[in-house]
Homo-oligomer: A and B are copies of this chain.
């Protein structure tokens, strides 16, 4: 990937066998023959931080997996109010088989590489072999659960609880991606600006900033620079998030 310049630079063509998301993405369950069919129709696209992948309402003739980097799904109201409705990390899936146009703005929040499949051939694979559809169902059910957790956050949590929840969510997803197990202090780099956090949480960015400062004052988190966060006691953070304390470390 030659970066500096713009986006859709053709990236290295990875062999699926070497793919970092091979065992988590929509292709996770594929047999060799299915994988070969996907390999034939896949292509990579790269985006720089800040670039828009597609606009809501635009024609979208591919579906894709996030290979590396972070993307967001956002809805916008006519007067400009914005709500993030999806936060996509590596292995997450973008797009909906059977749909012509994008339903949300998709934005690269960091430098981003996606493994894309033209929609029509991908749909053919889904119809003729079982494992892609099965895995996609599983992933969609997981996303639905996450969305419902998110709805609780948006509808009922206080600003402080929202911030604590977001930090905990990111820490957990991070750990799960890297198969880390927690051990004492947890360290995270926020992949979002304060504004993106406010769009995730249904707050203003001023409130986000204030509540982060408050959590720092109270010793729940420590901050270095703007984005680098240390969580000395993860359970304490989870308490602040107002979540049931079970605290399974994976989402």
Contact = CB atoms under 8 A, between A and B. Distances in A.
Contact of A244 (B78, B149, B202): B78
Contacts of A148: 73, 75, 85-86, 103-104, 147
Contact of A151 (B96, B130, B147, B243): B147
A136 B83 CA distance: 27
Nearest to A73: B148
Contact of A155 (B86, B137, B145, B202): B202
A239 to B, nearest CB: 10
Contacts of A78: 242, 244
A130 B128 CA distance: 10
A154 B96 contact: no
B83 A151 contact: yes
Contacts of A217: none
A155 B199 CA distance: 8
Interface of A: 73, 75, 77-79, 81-83, 85-86, 96, 98, 103-104, 130, 133-134, 136-138, 140-141, 143-145, 147-152, 154-156, 201-202, 242-244
